[in-house]
Amino acid sequence: MKSISLKKLFLLHSWVGIVTAILLFIVCFTGALAVLSRPELKIWANPELHQLNSVPSEKVTELINHYHTLVPKEFGENIHVYLPTGHNTHLLTILFESHDGDENYEEEAAYAYQFDPRNFELVNEYYGAAGYFYEHRKTDAPSFIGHFHADLHLGRPIGLILTGFLGLTLLVSTITGLFIHRQLIKELFTFRRKKELDVVVNDAHKIMGIWGSLFHGVIGFTGAFLGLATIILLPAAAFVSFGGDQDKLVAKFTAMPEPIITNDYQATDINAILIDAQARYPKAKVIDLTIMAHNDANAEVYLRLIGGDAVASQLLHYHGNGEFSKSMSSFGDIPGPAIKVLELLFPLHFGNFAGIFVKLVWALLGLSTALLPLSGMMMWLAKRSRGSNPTLSELAYQRWNRAIIGSCGGLVLATAILFPAQVLLNNLVPVHMHNAYFGPLFFYSWLAWCLLAVLPINYHRYLQVTMTLTGLACMAVLPLNLALSASHAFSANNVLVTVVDISFLFIGGLFIYLSQRLVTKQLNGVTAKATDEVIV
């Protein structure tokens, strides 16, 4: 490739990285955590789910039938059941929905009943707009991080467009980076960790870029698709094929068309359907059910399954009498290879297609994706502040470094704080008040840490304190759980809880160790510099 083209690619790579580096770090870091948020961390965060293996299908059937008798007739047309698996709500939720509302609501209205999955006691009752119920469901630290990754809590469509756009920039950076660093094999293992920090960062950026290029590319592409599909691609498809009518397009391809209600009574055999689904896919988990026209001759039941041998989530369709109809993708029963490809984009992005091992691989590679823009930005700053004719003054260099530590380190710290806070909330604050804590705690601690960057403090010390506090926040999880909770690492009788508690302790210890190493390295650097000056 001509050197002039390479130079252009390098410029593109640099500027795309510089402009989006901090945002990209934010999205990728929270994405790496979000991989483990559902169901693993969500189960950890909700004691109701600690001892739970599965909910008996007879009990689910009994509850649906009983509560159906308590709601007006039109609310039986659509019943959504969310099983407490760690993917949806933490409680067994039965939601009776009327699409056309009722005398009090013109929009979709719902009656919702939530039960403790351990003893099936009614915990929460709701009547009102369906949208309000979904928006104000109980959240927890993992779900909060997961939602933050999806749209940065900016709401839709702005948040989705932004994260989708960041996916595109990641893709561009990955491709241009591969062209720039063409000596891939030569640089595969070049990591000189005993050299000064600039060299270490430079080498780290290259090896993370080379080894992770395939992963970064896939995450960039799938992220861009997930962010932009509903905002840009769906309207575009509607414009091309349905004269701009999106509702028509959705109605055409919906996986769950509305049945015609006959008003002839026929009991919907939910128990048999659940048993049959488990027999057909014993390794998969039923995460929710949608029952249409319950107890009508034309009743239809849809079960969403995740896991097992299927790569993506699947939708099982049953008739009301318990007869199995078909298995299809979550997009519906649409033929053609394109839908298969689309179906694969979700598990490829979330890493949820083959159990916890793959999720761990995805989380670790995701962390490398997060560190890539950060190291790139550090290289860019170092390059401009060194040499005989630096374009960046020492003061500006320090300010930039503090800004990076405040924004990116602050995010890591704010995220780490959420987990001990989750333990405190679980044990000291009533459940219905939890939602009010996560947002302020996360954003105010992050903001406070960002504002600290304005002060003229030594950025090495700033980084060290950030890492130490993050480590302490992580390490606090296990002792807090031991002191306050009845279900902790040594009593939960749940391997997942034990592993998560101990992992927090280990990660916290690692952060503190690295912060100490950083100080030692800095001191060594200062001593070496002083020795050089004496020799000169």
Partner 1 sequence: MTFIYLTLGCLLLVASSLLLRHASSASRRLSLLVFCVATACFIAVYGNIAGVFIAVPTALLIGLLTAFLLGKKPQN
**What's the closest the beta carbon of residue 360 comes to partner 1, in angstroms?**
9
Q: Which stretch binds partner 1 (CB under 8 A): 49-57, 185-193, 251-259, 328-336?
A: 185-193
Q: Is residue 365 at the binding interface for partner 1, with CB under 8 A as the rule?
A: yes
Which of residues 161, 207, 328, 424 is near partner 1 by CB under 8 A?
A: 207
Report residue 324 as tokens. Answer: 């199995």
Task: Determine which residue in the list 297, 361, 392, 499 makes contact with partner 1, applying CB under 8 A.
Answer: 361
CB of 309 to partner 1, least distance (A): 8
Q: How far is the CB of 201 from partner 1 (least distance, A)?
A: 13
Nearer to partner 1 among residue 368 and residue 481 (C-beta): 368
Smallest gap from Cβ 358 to partner 1, in A, equals 6
Q: Which tokens belong to 447?
A: 């903001």
| H/E stretch holding 370 | helix 355-385
Minimal distance in Å, beta carbon 403 to partner 1? 26
Query: Interface with partner 1 by CB under 8 A: which range of 17-25, 55-63, 233-241, 361-369?
Result: 361-369
Query: Under the criterion CB under 8 A, does residue 190 sit at the interface with partner 1?
Result: yes
Q: Residue 524 is encoded by which pair of tokens?
A: 């060594």
Task: Report the helix count and the strand count for the chain, using DSSP H and E.
Answer: 20, 8
Please work out the total of residues on this chain that contact partner 1, with binding judged by CB under 8 A. Answer: 24
What's the residue count for the chain?
A: 536
SS (H, E, C) 222-276: HHHHHHHHHHHHHHHHHHHHCCCCHHHHHHHHCCCCCCCCCCCECCCCHHHHHHH
* Residue 184 interacts with partner 1 (CB under 8 A): yes or no: no
Please give, one letter per residue, the 3-state secondary structure of 6-35: HHHHHHHHHHHHHHHHHHHHHHHHHHHHHC
Smallest gap from Cβ 373 to partner 1, in A, equals 16
Which residue type does 306 have?
I
- Contact 320/298 with Cβ under 8 angstroms? yes
Q: Of the candidates 47, 76, 212, 420, which one interacts with partner 1 according to CB under 8 A? A: 212
Decide: 103 and 120 in contact? Cβ < 8 Å. Answer: no
Query: Nearest distance from residue 311's CB to partner 1, in Å?
Result: 7
Write down the least CB distance from residue 191 to partner 1, Å. 4
By CB under 8 A, residue 208 contacts partner 1: yes
CA 371 vs CA 27, 48, 172, 382, 485: distances in Å: 11, 35, 16, 16, 35
171 near partner 1 (CB under 8 A): no
Structure tokens at 49: 């789910």
For the CA atoms of 268, 270, 273, 277, the dihedral, rounded to the nearest 10 degrees, stands at 150
Tell me: does residue 358 bind partner 1 (CB under 8 A): yes
Among 113, 302, 362, 419, binds partner 1 (CB under 8 A): 362
Nearest distance in Å: CB 336, partner 1: 19
Which CB atom, from 311 or from 334, has the smaller least distance to partner 1?
A: 311
Among 192, 432, 517, 529, binds partner 1 (CB under 8 A): 192
Interface with partner 1, residue 309, by CB under 8 A = yes
Structure tokens at 453: 């960057």
For the record, the structure tokens of 39 come out as 């169901």
Give, as one character, the DSSP assignment of residue 332.
Answer: B
What does the CA dihedral 18, 21, 23, 25 come to, rounded to 10 degrees?
180
Judged by CB under 8 A, does residue 340 bind partner 1?
Answer: no
Q: Taking CB under 8 A as the rule, does residue 353 contact partner 1?
A: yes
Which are the contacts of 256, defined by CB distance < 8 A and separation ≥ 6?
Answer: 290, 292, 300, 302, 315, 332
Q: Which of 3, 119, 193, 341 lies at the binding interface for partner 1 (CB under 8 A)?
A: 193
DSSP annotation of 327: E
Can you tell me the distance from the alpha carbon of 336 to that of 225, in angstroms, rounded to the nearest whole number? 19
* Residue 364 beta carbon to partner 1: minimum distance, rounded to whole angstroms: 6
Nearer to partner 1, 121 or 309 (CB): 309
Residues that bind partner 1 (CB under 8 A): 188-193, 204, 207-208, 211-212, 214-215, 309, 311, 353-354, 357-358, 361-362, 364-365, 368
